[in-house]
């Protein structure tokens, strides 16, 4: 056989092999889907009024991803849903625990220089401390926010710790990070906030930063970005940041890793 004939035969053999090994016909994909799996449904066609739980779950996803943007109160149809999410279902606690596990894994993977400038930033409300007792008494976010009654509640210094956050705080501390608590609360609330944090089990933070007189009219994102900038100017390396609001985390500069805690009860710009 000449070399030219070999070159002609190779593609013929390849083609014949392909035809031999090819399946005779693929079953339609729809026939391979388990009857237990449901394909996406047109939600509008479901008429939300009759499917509140489904809608409220989707609404919660939209606020957690920040797709919803600015919002003021939870939908009236979702009061029971949010109450259940925050409480008896255990879902809120589970969601917080997974955030804390993710953050702890990230913290363990980071190299701490040990010069006192490796920082981890925590927000306070709905991040380290829970105001759930207050919100449970005020419609779980369905009522318009009232500064006066909330400040009275904060002054009691009775917010419990979020258990997963307390474990994360202690783990990050053990790893050698400097703990910076950056809150939208005011300087006038420093004593009550300190008392509450200590009572809930938080100890040994490096900095507790509250809004001073010049910060009062700033949005949370501007205020917190400015404070992170000042920390960096002081030499801190902000490795991680935890907060229940996107305004705790976004802006400039940002932490190397940001961790969004769940909060379906209120939104802070």
Which residues of the chain form contacts with Mg ion (CB under 5 A)?
Answer: 123, 125-126, 244
C-alpha span between 80 and 172 (Å, rounded): 35
Cβ atoms of 118 and 239 within 8 Å: the answer is: yes
By C-beta, is 52 or 187 nearer to Mg ion? 187
Residue closer to Mg ion, measured from CB, 107 or 162: 162
Please state the closest distance from residue 116 (CB atom) to Mg ion, in A. 26
Nearer to Mg ion, 126 or 215 (CB): 126
What is the nearest approach in angstroms of Mg ion to the Cβ of residue 25?
58
| In contact, 229 and 252? CB cutoff 8 Å | yes
Q: What is the spatial order of strands in the sheet that 237-243 belongs to?
A: 207-211, 178-186, 118-122, 237-243, 257-260
Residue with nearest beta carbon to Mg ion:
125
| Smallest distance from Mg ion to CB 58, Å | 23
**Cis ω on the peptide bond leading into residue 126 (within 30° of 0)?**
no
DSSP 22-39: S-S-PPPHHHHS-TT---
Q: For Mg ion, give the closer residue by CB, 184 or 238.
A: 184
* Least distance from Mg ion to the Cβ atom of residue 98, Å: 18
Residue closer to Mg ion, measured from CB, 107 or 268:
268
Scanning 52-162, the segments in alpha helix (DSSP H) are: 52-64, 79-86, 91-109, 132-136, 147-156
Question: Among residues 123 and 178, whose Cβ is nearest to Mg ion?
Answer: 123
CB of 244 to Mg ion, least distance (A): 4
Among residues 79 and 249, whose Cβ is nearest to Mg ion? 249
**At closest approach, how far in Å is the CB of 183 from Mg ion?**
7
**Dihedral sign (CA 43, 49, 53, 59):** positive
Best CA proximity match to 255, nearest among 147, 110, 151, 57: 110
> Contact, 168 vs 104, CB < 8 A?
yes
- Provide, rounded to whole angstroms, the least separation between the CB of residue 155 and Mg ion: 17
Residue 172 burial (C-beta neighbours within 10 Å; 0-12, 13-18, 19+): buried
Beta carbon of residue 159, minimum distance to Mg ion (angstroms, whole number): 11
Bridge partners of 119?
178, 238
Looking at beta carbons only, is 110 or 257 nearer to Mg ion?
257
């Amino acid at each position: 056989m000449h070399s030219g004939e070999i070159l002609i035969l190779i593609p013929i053999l390849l083609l014949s092999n392909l035809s031999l090994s090819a399946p005779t016909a693929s079953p339609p994909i729809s026939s391979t889907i388990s009857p237990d799996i449901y394909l996406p449904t047109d939600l509008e066609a479901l008429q939300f009024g009759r499917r509140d739980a489904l809608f409220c779950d989707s609404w919660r996803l939209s606020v957690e991803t920040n797709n919803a943007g600015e919002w003021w109160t939870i939908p009236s149809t979702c009061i029971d849903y949010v109450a259940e999410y925050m409480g008896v279902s255990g879902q809120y606690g589970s969601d917080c625990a997974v955030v804390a596990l993710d953050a702890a894994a990230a913290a363990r993977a980071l190299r701490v220089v040990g010069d006192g400038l490796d920082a981890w930033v925590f927000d306070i409300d709905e991040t380290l401390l829970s105001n759930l007792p207050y919100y449970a008494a005020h419609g779980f976010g369905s009522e318009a926010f009232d500064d006066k009654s909330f400040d009275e509640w904060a002054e009691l210094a009775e917010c419990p710790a979020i258990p997963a956050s307390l474990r994360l705080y202690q783990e990050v501390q053990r790893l050698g990070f400097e703990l910076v608590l950056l809150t939208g609360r005011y300087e006038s609330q420093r004593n009550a906030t300190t008392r509450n944090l200590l009572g809930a089990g938080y100890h040994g933070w490096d900095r507790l930063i509250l809004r001073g007189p010049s910060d009062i009219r700033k949005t949370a994102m501007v205020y917190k970005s400015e404070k992170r900038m000042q920390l960096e100017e002081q030499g801190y390396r902000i490795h991680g940041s935890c907060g229940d609001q996107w305004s705790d985390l976004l802006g400039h500069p940002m932490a190397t890793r940001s961790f969004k805690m769940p909060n379906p009860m209120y939104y802070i710009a």
